Amino acid sequence: MDGFMKFIQASPTAFHAVANLAEMLVAAGYQALEERQPWRLQRGGRYYVTRNGSALIAFRLPEGRLDHYQLVASHADSPAFKLKPNPKREAQGYALLNVEKYGGMIMSTWFDRPLSVAGRLAVRTPGGIETKRVYLDRDLALIPNMPIHFNRDVNDGVKLNAQVDMLPVYGAAGADILALAAEAAGVAVEDVAGFDLFLVNRDAPRLWGAQGEYIASPRLDDLECAYASIRALIGAKPSAHGDMACVFDNEEVGSGTRQGADSTLLTDVLTRAARGMDVEDVEAMIAGSFMLSADNAHAVHPNHPEQYDAENRVSMNGGVVVKFNTAQKYTSDGVSQAVFEALCKRAGVPVQRFANRSDIPGGSTLGNIANTHASMPSVDIGLAQLAMHSANESAGVRDLGYMIDAMRTFHETEIEVAGDGDVRISWAD
């Protein structure tokens, strides 16, 4: 938990999360690859590649023939507000940030709490443009609520307009957000040629509950699964297949970007890794691979249990959740569920099953989208959390360890997609 809490605090945006995950991989002996360079891969080698600085795929190769991959997919982005290209506004003597919504957050949870700005700058240099990650690592901004005296109906449901109600104050008129960002990045403000900056919640992750059994934190969806996937890959014993962890960007806005799950990123990496290992039949390799699509799940809310299916609801600290959706927003089916639950049993990890009420459509995620590019048997999993897409979400302290154990066992298990619908499972010992 300690390492995870530090990671989440140091990862205000996908850019930072990817940089921190890359650092963990380098410390574990993984080598960086560049998409624009030729890849010289070695048997038994461990590598990672990033795209846009906000998505990452790490993989390790077997010593022998590369038959298939066992991969985990998650995402690094979270709902937030994003600064518009002309980010400055002034009103009533205040400097405001001109922001818009990125993804579907619960907007009211962003009121009256310390916020700051993070992301990246595009910096003009003699040679062209260079990107620089930036985080104004201090309490900088706040979106004040309207007092109840002017808003008597606020407790009967409040309607918020992102264009009007959600602009944060970050000082007295005259403050210059780009100058502050340039200073934090150590560059001259006149060299800032562009930016991708987000408003971020400054709250530190904290444990709560009678036994400290819960964690409240920004960005648990989906940094919990992203962190677990890298920890599991690093910690897993060598296997006879290829192992991979994919952390995509832009899941919260539909994944349809160069660095999202609806891109060529996964197939590009699978294909290049196959080529480097002299795999002749790449399609057979992909068809024989197996995916865990890992994104957090909804724990039953004690005040509104009626919103959840009576037999398919899950709770925090109850173990890894297998997610089902008959409209196929989740990839789980009877076969992939059976495979995943078998390895959880092997790992001693409890499993819970989630499905929505029939009259609630629920959310979406990325495994089904990635599967339209690289198609393979797949199961959707996650950790049960409360208040999804709140500025502060809550999850169970024991569940993170369960997820890491389940993912590690997944990599240490030989999952052979033997035929159309048959899967052979074997363990190294």
Q: Choose which of 67, 77, 196, 221 interacts with Co ion (CB under 5 A).
A: 221
Q: Give CA–CA dist 111/94, Å, rounded.
A: 17
Residues 295, 393, 399, 405: which binds Co ion (CB under 5 A)?
295
Segment interacting with Co ion, rule: CB under 5 A, options 82-90, 212-220, 293-301, 326-334: 293-301
Distance of closest approach, residue 75 Cβ to Co ion, in angstroms: 6
The Cα 347–Cα 338 span in angstroms is 14
Cβ 54 to Co ion shortest distance, Å:
15
Q: For Co ion, give the closer residue by CB, 221 or 380.
A: 221
Nearer to Co ion, 221 or 393 (CB): 221
- The stretch near Co ion (CB under 5 A) out of 42-50, 95-103, 215-223, 258-266 is 215-223
The binder of Co ion chosen from 67, 77, 196, 222 (CB under 5 A): 222
Total interface residues for Co ion by CB under 5 A: 3
CB of 296 to Co ion, least distance (A): 6
Q: How far is the CB of 365 from Co ion (least distance, A)?
A: 6
- At residue 115, the 3 state secondary structure works out as strand
Question: In whole angstroms, how close is the CB of 253 to Co ion at the nearest point?
Answer: 12
Alpha-carbon torsion, ordered 209, 158, 250, 375, to 10 deg: 80
The residues facing 119 across adjacent strands are 134, 197
Nearer residue to Co ion within complex by CB, 258 or 389: 389
Among 32, 179, 15, 14, residue whose Cα is nearest residue 103: 14
- Cβ nearer to Co ion, comparing 132 with 298: 298
SS3 state at 34: coil
Instruction: State how far the Cα of 98 lies from the Cα of 162, in Å rounded to an integer.
Output: 10
How far lies 203's CA from each of 8, 43, 272, 311, in Å? 10, 44, 40, 35
Quickly list DSSP for 258-293.
TTSTTSSHHHHHHHHHHHHTT-S-HHHHHHT-EEEE
From 90-98, 183-191, 220-228, 408-416, give the range in contact with Co ion by CB under 5 A: 220-228
Contact between 376 and 286 under an 8 Å Cβ cutoff? The reply is yes
Q: Could you tell me the smallest distance in angstroms from the CB atom of residue 257 to Co ion?
A: 15
Which range touches Co ion (CB under 5 A), out of 263-271, 294-302, 335-343, 351-359? Answer: 294-302
Pairing relationship of beta strands 423-427 and 94-102 according to DSSP bridges: unpaired
* Least distance CB 293 / Co ion (angstroms): 10
Residue 141, judged by CB atoms within 10 A of its CB (0-12, 13-18, 19+), counts as buried
Nearer to Co ion by Cβ, of 243 and 295: the residue is 295
Specify the stretch interacting with Co ion by CB under 5 A; choose among 10-18, 21-29, 127-135, 221-229: 221-229
Site of interaction with Co ion (CB under 5 A): 221-222, 295
